[in-house]
Structure 1
Amino acid sequence: MLQISLWKRLLIALTCAVGLWLALPNAFYGPVEQHNDAAAAIEKSGATPELETQLALWPEWMPSGLVNLGLDLRGGAHLLAEVNVADVYASRMEATWPEVRDALRSLTPVRRQESPAGELRVRLNDPTKMAEAMETVRGLARQVTTLSGAGSNDIVVSGDDGLITITLSDAEMQATDERTMQQSLEIIRRRIDEVGTREPTIQRQGTDRILIQVPGIGSATELKAIIGTTAQLTFNPVVSRGSNGNDNPGIGNLLLPSTDESGVFYTLEAAPVVTGEELVDAQPSFDQNGRPAVSFRFDTTGARKFGNYTAENIGSPFAIVLDNEVISAPTIQSHIPGGSGIITGNFSVEESTNLAVLLRAGALPAGLTFVEERTIGPELGQDSIDAGKIATTVAFAAVLLFMFASYGLFGFFANIALIINVGLIFGLLSLIGATLTLPGIAGIVLTVGMAVDANVLIFERIREELKTAKGPARAISLGYEKALSAILDANITTFIIAVILFMLGSGPVRGFAVTLGLGIVTSVFTAYFVTRLMVVFWFERRRPKQLTV
């Protein structure tokens, strides 16, 4: 019969109240957004009178979670970047050369030979040691640590006539590609988070591409400046210094230009002593002359390498290389323990700050090639918002009028539940910090239709039960009970589709799937429980002898 226990009534009412309470900040989007930005700025760098004023725009005791606006609503930058994974193979071979040289040193002197990128060729002075040398090099191999490459070694060693050739195995190349993509995704995300952008979309597309969408940023060029630099920092021994950029540096060496001295080129050992991967911190600072600089600190391993090298090479120059340019080449004056130091150069304050951000976030393992870039202006975003508002308002108003015209008082109850439904959707979106896009708005509009569909099933079922001459209370109770299976069938299948779209889709498709999935949950709740509770309240007070739906 039409009886709902007190605890169920309280639970339904409390759920609606909490959902609407969480959705409330979205009705005051501008002030709440300024409040949130001010709170984040105060936490990061301390309070100022201006920030305190912005913080006071919204009460601290009120919820402040907002539905983040996507790229198509707020405007921003869109980039599609291709990761040059082949660069990592070449870097790996460069790092392998000192290890191979040291391992073979006790057998016979060796010379590195010219070789294609991603391959290491070593010539033995004594070809009679070939078999023993190949066995020694094979002993340097490590097991591939992925499931697909289980049981495989990371390098393949071949040789003939005193020449040993080392390449990465297929299993290691596949594992390297996967690591490179994961590292690139994580580092791009860190760099964008460092500059405080809101709700970026950073996800992998295909085997070697990354989609980057950042709402609210000025332009694609600005976004490229943040993430486009690999920021590969290395500390290399200096072989010589000159002014000819066409000199042959020799095998195993690099010829790099200086950014600090115009027309100067340094010949460096290609194998670095320490790399930026061993940095644990980098902060903008000033040198002893008051010029902008970047202070850095290594981890334990990097500090030991750095300290040992400086102790053994006092009086020798030491190049600090950033993205294949020598930004500084100081002479080692004394042993530098502790693993900390300072990078000087012709920096502005902004450049030193950006460099510190890049180094702190980590170096990209490979270069990026931007194959697609777009800047979406805020005017276009506002047009999208206005179009979405009009579509939603028209759909919502038409549904409300239809329900009231078709079902009278019961349609009025359904309309109230429908308004609560939309509020609950925004409350859930705010709670999980979801991003709303134009397809997401389409998902909300579709949800409105599905919520009405559930109410139509219930009310039509009540009409059928009333025709069998049952009393109003029994007809209402049977109407809700017998319509439940049809409501669940329709919504569960749609929910499964939403889950599949979320798992397999990307970008706007995911935005649509999120709002659709949440909307299905709230639609079933409001259509079956909220409208039923309102009908029960009305019936308990009116006790009608006859019922017309």
Structure 2
Amino acid sequence: MLNRYPLWKYLLILAVAILGFIYAAPNLYPPDDAVQISGSSSGMTVDGEVLSKIESALDNAGISYFAAEQDGASAQLRFNDGEAQLQGKRVIADALGNDYVVALNQAPTTPDWLVAMGGAPMKLGLDLRGGVHFLLEVDTDSAISKRQETSADEMKDKLRDARIRYNSVEVENTVIVAEFRETELRDAAISELRSDYPQMLFNTDLPGDDDELVFHAELSEAAVREIEQYALNQNLTTLRKRVNELGVSEPIVQSQGRNRIIVQLPGVQDTAEAKRVIGKTANLEFRLEAAPDALVAAKEQFDYQGYPAWLERKVILTGDHVANASTTLDPETNTPQVNITLDSLGGTKMNHATRSNIGRRMAVLFIEYKTRMNTETSAEGEPVEVPEQYTESKVISLATIQSALGVQFRITGLNAPGEASELALMLRSGALAAPMYFVEERTIGPSLGAENIQLGVQSVQWGMALVLLFMIVYYRLFGVFANIALGVNVLVLVAVMSILGATLTLPGIAGIVLTVGMAVDANVLIFARIREELKAGASPHTAISAGYDRAFTTILDANLTTLIVAVILYAIGSGPVKGFAVTLSIGILTSMFTAIMGTRALVNLVYGRRKNLKKLWI
């Protein structure tokens, strides 16, 4: 017979439909609004004492929650609604202070049996469910000062090589100020340095008694803009790498203005971890331990394991020269260590600094830029929270230089494997060209508004209903076949997106609607072809076979060209455009399966065994 499928095809279609239902089912269980608490560093834990403190603070504030979960490293409290979640987050943050990271989260409610099978709901994009929003400010002035300090050190070396004596070369408010004993030495220094620093403006027309002995060197406006742009781009690259390490789907990391960066993380499962890793706006500096007789102005004091450590102000190199970093255990002490690989320039600088200082100690200084909230009184007399930026610096390693170092060496003296892993992540993802501070942290709701989203969903539902009704009225029983296949198509599409962990956005919903239209279009082509065959005098069985076979080429060509466009959109697009492309690509493949093979299976089941078939309900 023409219109019969072998058993394996029916079993395949049935298996696809069942798996589609199973893996689409988690989307029926919306997540709970939750607050997650974890330590500000990996070594900290959230124990019963901390949880009791949290519960007491919430009770005193009259905020209720219905579940609390704790695993030692973190804790999570579930609230009845978003308003209680926001209030609870503020109360918990006030109670715990800066030692813990308190972040908003979405706690899954998927049944255990679905989770055991690998089921998980689709992640919703920022325009549908919202997510975590961070606004960070790049301290570009610090980047300019760092560049000037480097240039000042280079100028000293060049003047010494040229045998031009100077009294001092210092940086004051991003301006290099050099003082000499004689005017001739000053002019000779400017002539020596001007060609090496074309972006520097040398100024000798200065007010004061000793202006003839001093020159100021400041960066031109073009050079300042170049440094600011470099700092912003480098920090953007670093943040994107860190976000990728978190495994967040379709994040938004983009610049805003000259010195701000927006980070938006849709559908994250662990916002506390995200805030900790992104918030670790830190850098490394490698410095030599200062000699006992060094001038006070040439050294700085830090703490190392409870003892004062005096380091030279001059920096050998910073973390931006690190090409790779990984964690291992020190075979001698069985303590965590970080293996570092420098780039070629960093290796050269490290070699030059260490080969002439064998026997001295070199420190690794970890500099972390943080933000804390201070309560101040506004002009109206109301208490307001004002962010304050501050810096924490600590020596994490102080070891004796045994031999000249090159591009590879290791950092020891770390307290815990988690601390070593975080440090390796910071180094591996790239150093910051300038410090960054959190200016704003909030959760964002649907960008189009809840009402607009509801209206959009309703319009989709009405459109689907009209399409289903049209297919039944116009194509009768074959329209029912098409509608069943259409339902399975949407089911399988949602299941595949859930399995892949794709993020659904409003453009993604548009992709689903377009997929539905394309699936119906394929059935219309097939059914129209069957009608033509019947009008031409073909028997019902022949018409069915010819309709599917001859329409297949047209359907394949149309879907293939659309798939190519979707792939191009994914390759060159970003954010919502990628979401639309992913949904459309998956939808094309699923609709091809259900519109051709699915409806053919239903037709074969109804008509395939009827030998004396006289009429089709089409």
How far apart are residue 375 of structure 1 and its match? 1.0
User: Are positions 1:227 and 2:278 aligned together?
Assistant: yes
- For the 8 Å contact 1:234–1:273, the answer to whether it is kept is yes
User: Take 2:219 and 2:366, find their aligned partners in 1: how far apart are those partners?
Assistant: 29
User: Take 1:65 and 1:401, find their aligned partners in 2: how far apart are those partners?
Assistant: 32
User: Take 2:592 and 2:399, find their aligned partners in 1: how far apart are those partners?
Assistant: 74
**Matching residue of 2:267:** 215
User: Take 2:137 and 2:397, find their aligned partners in 1: how far apart are those partners?
Assistant: 39
How far apart are residue 222 of structure 1 and its match? 8.8
Higher share in strand = 2
Structure 1 residues 123 and 483: CA distance shift in structure 2, 3 A: farther
| Residues paired across the two proteins, number | 487
- For the 8 Å contact 2:363–2:399, the answer to whether it is kept is no
Code of the residue aligned with 1:24 in structure 2: it is: I
How far apart are residue 407 of structure 1 and its match? 2.0
**Matching residue of 2:149:** 94
Q: In the TM superposition, what whole-angstrom CA distance separates every residue of 1:240-281 from its partner, at most 9, and x where no partner exists?
A: 99xxxxxxx98xx799999999xx9x9986541343444836
**Matching residue of 1:545:** 614
Code of the residue aligned with 2:411 in structure 1: it is: S
User: Are positions 1:408 and 2:459 aligned together?
Assistant: no
Identity of aligned residues (%): 34
User: Are positions 1:280 and 2:335 aligned together?
Assistant: no
Structure 1 residues 339 and 76: CA distance shift in structure 2, 3 A: same
**Matching residue of 2:497:** 429
**Matching residue of 1:181:** 233
**Matching residue of 2:24:** 26
User: Take 1:414 and 1:505, find their aligned partners in 2: how far apart are those partners?
Assistant: 33
User: Take 1:358 and 1:519, find their aligned partners in 2: how far apart are those partners?
Assistant: 39
How far apart are residue 231 of structure 1 and its match? 0.9
User: Are positions 1:79 and 2:131 aligned together?
Assistant: no
Q: Unmatched 5+ residue regions in structure 2?
A: 33-41, 44-69, 73-108, 205-213, 329-334, 370-389, 404-408
**Matching residue of 2:540:** 472
How far apart are residue 77 of structure 1 and its match? 1.0
User: Are positions 1:507 and 2:562 aligned together?
Assistant: no
Q: In the TM superposition, what whole-angstrom CA distance separates every residue of 1:16-72 from its partner, at most 9, and x where no partner exists?
A: 7458636633314699999xxxxxxxxx99xxx989xx9993489945465333345
Code of the residue aligned with 2:497 in structure 1: it is: L
Q: In the TM superposition, what whole-angstrom CA distance separates every residue of 1:336-383 from its partner, at most 9, and x where no partner exists?
A: 787534479xxxx999998887567554333447687541479x9999
Structure 1 residues 340 and 488: CA distance shift in structure 2, 3 A: closer
User: Take 2:222 and 2:158, find their aligned partners in 1: how far apart are those partners?
Assistant: 24
RMSD over aligned Cα, in angstroms? 6.0
User: Are positions 1:340 and 2:441 aligned together?
Assistant: no
User: Are positions 1:440 and 2:508 aligned together?
Assistant: yes
**Matching residue of 1:142:** none
Structure 1 residues 71 and 13: CA distance shift in structure 2, 3 A: farther
Q: Map 1:274-423; keep pairs closer than 5 Å.
A: 274-277=317-320, 278=322, 280=325, 298-299=340-341, 301=347, 313=360, 321-323=367-369, 325=391, 327-328=393-394, 339-342=410-413, 362-368=430-436, 374-376=442-444, 396=464, 398-423=466-491
Q: Map 1:486-505; keep pairs closer than 5 Å.
A: 487=555, 491=559, 495=563, 498=566, 502=570, 505=573
How far apart are residue 459 of structure 1 and its match? 1.9
Structure 1 residues 412 and 362: CA distance shift in structure 2, 3 A: same
- For the 8 Å contact 1:447–1:520, the answer to whether it is kept is yes
User: Are positions 1:190 and 2:190 aligned together?
Assistant: no
Code of the residue aligned with 1:215 in structure 2: it is: G
**Matching residue of 1:244:** none
Structure 1 residues 90 and 462: CA distance shift in structure 2, 3 A: farther
Code of the residue aligned with 1:528 in structure 2: it is: I
**Matching residue of 1:68:** 123
User: Take 1:450 and 1:271, find their aligned partners in 2: how far apart are those partners?
Assistant: 66
Code of the residue aligned with 2:233 in structure 1: it is: M
User: Take 1:259 and 1:394, find their aligned partners in 2: how far apart are those partners?
Assistant: 68
Which of 434-443 and 360-369 deviates more?
360-369
User: Take 1:164 and 1:88, find their aligned partners in 2: how far apart are those partners?
Assistant: 19
Code of the residue aligned with 1:26 in structure 2: it is: A
Q: In the TM superposition, what whole-angstrom CA distance separates every residue of 1:100-126 from its partner, at most 9, and x where no partner exists?
A: 433442213455365774x86767846
**Matching residue of 1:288:** none
Structure 1 residues 491 and 56: CA distance shift in structure 2, 3 A: closer
User: Take 1:267 and 1:397, find their aligned partners in 2: how far apart are those partners?
Assistant: 75
User: Take 1:536 and 1:312, find their aligned partners in 2: how far apart are those partners?
Assistant: 86
User: Take 2:461 and 2:265, find their aligned partners in 1: how far apart are those partners?
Assistant: 28
Structure 1 residues 332 and 396: CA distance shift in structure 2, 3 A: closer
TM-score, normalised via structure 2 length: 0.57
- For the 8 Å contact 1:443–1:513, the answer to whether it is kept is yes
User: Are positions 1:112 and 2:169 aligned together?
Assistant: yes
User: Take 1:176 and 1:12, find their aligned partners in 2: how far apart are those partners?
Assistant: 63
Structure 1 residues 439 and 171: CA distance shift in structure 2, 3 A: same
User: Take 1:332 and 1:218, find their aligned partners in 2: how far apart are those partners?
Assistant: 34
Structure 1 residues 159 and 32: CA distance shift in structure 2, 3 A: closer
User: Take 1:373 and 1:326, find their aligned partners in 2: how far apart are those partners?
Assistant: 21
Higher share in helix = 1
User: Take 1:211 and 1:60, find their aligned partners in 2: how far apart are those partners?
Assistant: 29
Q: In the TM superposition, what whole-angstrom CA distance separates every residue of 1:187-219 from its partner, at most 9, and x where no partner exists?
A: 45426745xx75361344689754422424688
- For the 8 Å contact 2:148–2:171, the answer to whether it is kept is no
User: Take 1:448 and 1:361, find their aligned partners in 2: how far apart are those partners?
Assistant: 41
